[in-house]
Amino acid sequence: LPPDFASALENILPTPLGAATVRYGTRLLAGMTLDPDAVILEAFPFSRPNGEKQAVLYVQTFVQDATATNLAVINPQSFRFDTTNATAFQVDTPVKIEYTHHGDTTLYSTLVRKTVTGNTVTLTVENNSFPAPIDGVTIQRVSYAQGSLYVYDFQTATLDDKIKTGLSVGCVPRSVTFLNKLLICNGVDRVLIWDGNTLSEMMEFVKEEATQLTRLDDRRFSFTCTDSFDAAHYAAGSII
């Protein structure tokens, strides 16, 4: 089949008797600069203290695995490659595969199984994703899906640069407004807080039991800890 033999209309919801309804509306927003294969999973409305309207967009984007080498198709459902970024490919999330077979083709599929042996990853995608027979199928690039946050400003009709990357896409993003702040969660990553200008992670401090606190200099101090003290909680870059 030719690469353009079918089209997907994501903005249309089918209804009985061959009718359909529009899902998201009929007007394009000016200033949207997302990649053509990006998918807006959720749009969270937010009003700044001065009344300006924003929308925080939870977007699924694809990131090419630049470390992937020795890409090979095993059968119409599976392929393997060597990578140092195996954790980025998660089951039940989309994957983008660019390959050549009588022309260039971009395949979008969903991962249903993953096996890792050393640096070699074997991925199984949905049935009949690759053409059969597989002779002559050459994978050029593979990309994993990640969640990113963007802010759309309705006053200027502009989309700012992404304010967060590396979020899960195998989830249902949700939000709630509390004390003039937008709280964003997905059940996987840390809860995020948007105040109209700055994005931060929600965190809570846990009090430690310690004695003999001693100031050593302007940046260091020492103390005597209990048996329950876990030094792993104090990784470099964390806040105390």
pLDDT, tens digit, 9 for 90 and up, residues 48-97? 999 999 999 999 999 999 999 999 999 999 999 999 999 999 999 999 99
pLDDT category, 210, cuts 50, 70, 90?
Answer: confident
Q: For residues 52 and 155, is the Cβ–Cβ distance under 8 A?
A: yes
What mean pLDDT do residues 153-170 have?
95
Q: What is the mean pLDDT of the chain?
A: 90
What mean pLDDT do residues 13-41 have?
80
Q: How far apart are CA 172 and CA 224, in angstroms?
A: 44
pLDDT > 60? residue 147: yes
pLDDT category, 29, cuts 50, 70, 90?
Answer: confident
pLDDT > 80? residue 17: no
pLDDT higher at 12 or 134: 134
- With pLDDT > 90 as the criterion, what percentage of the chain qualifies? 70
Residue 14 confidence (pLDDT) = 72
36-48 pLDDT, tens per residue? 899 999 999 999 9
Residue 203 confidence (pLDDT) = 80
DSSP sequence for 14-71: E-GGG-EEESS-S-PPTT----TT-EEEEEEEEE-TTS-EEEEEEEEEEEE-TT-EEE
